[in-house]
Amino acid sequence: DAKTTQPPSMDCAEGRAANLPCNHSTISGNEYVYWYRQIHSQGPQYIIHGLKNNETNEMASLIITEDRKSSTLILPHATLRDTAVYYCIVLSAGTASKLTFGTGTRLQVTL
Amino acid sequence: ETGVTQTPRHLVMGMTNKKSLKCEQHLGHNAMYWYKQSAKKPLELMFVYSLEERVENNSVPSRFSPECPNSSHLFLHLHTLQPEDSALYLCASSRDKGSPLHFGNGTRLTVT
């Protein structure tokens, strides 16, 4: 599976959009980009995933560049409850259980 | 509420004890998983069950014994654990093996 690179930490004001970047320059054609987050003292939470088209759900939007070498997770209106560590993972089709976390991005949402 | 419930949330046990961790999912999923999360290794897959059949066992020591009596319940039986087994044990479920995972909030295990 391709490796990913994320900034270690980011801050975001409450109510503003949080844009979390991820680089995955070695991604191959059948690999998906997944995003999970883990709030302190809770289990990981699935957010969104995509292959090459942009995706949106009730939690977030995922923007994948045309060359698929990077992506951005967008939380459109961040709240204090979005403070968490966000993990970008690249996985081949059908291997969602092969989840492994790197260091992720620690997002701090502030008043 | 994640739809995946784990009990207990915290467990302290001695090395000679026998205990069990319980997981229940209310999502109608067909696959269930046990993961271990510790400071040394962010996330380790332990066991995978698909339609109540164990389909994956990632070289986990025999002191960890999983049980899946039906598609909604998963147990992890623990005996003669070591202090290095102290970690957060996470249960997850998914619609099928290729679908995104839904995690419980874990059992924080401390082995003394």
Mean pLDDT of chain B: 92
pLDDT in tens, A46-75: 999 999 989 999 999 999 999 999 999 999
- Could you say which DSSP state residue A44 is in? E
Q: Percent of chain A having pLDDT more than 90?
A: 83
Q: What is the Cα gyration radius of chain B?
A: 13
- Look at A96 and B106 and tell me if their CB atoms are within 8 Å: no
The span from the first CA to the last CA of chain B, in angstroms, equals 31
Residue in chain B closest to A87 (alpha carbons) equals: B42
Chain B 13-52, residues with CB within 8 Å of chain A CB atoms: 31, 33, 35, 42-43, 45, 48
d(CA A21, CA A78): 15
Tell me the pLDDT tens digit for each residue of A10-46: 999 999 999 999 999 999 989 999 999 999 989 999 9
Paired tokens of A102:
């790197």
Contacts of A49 (CB under 8 A, 6+ apart): A32, A33, A34, A35, A55, A62, B100
The pLDDT tens digits of the residues spanning B6-50 come to 999 999 999 888 999 999 999 999 999 999 999 888 889 999 998
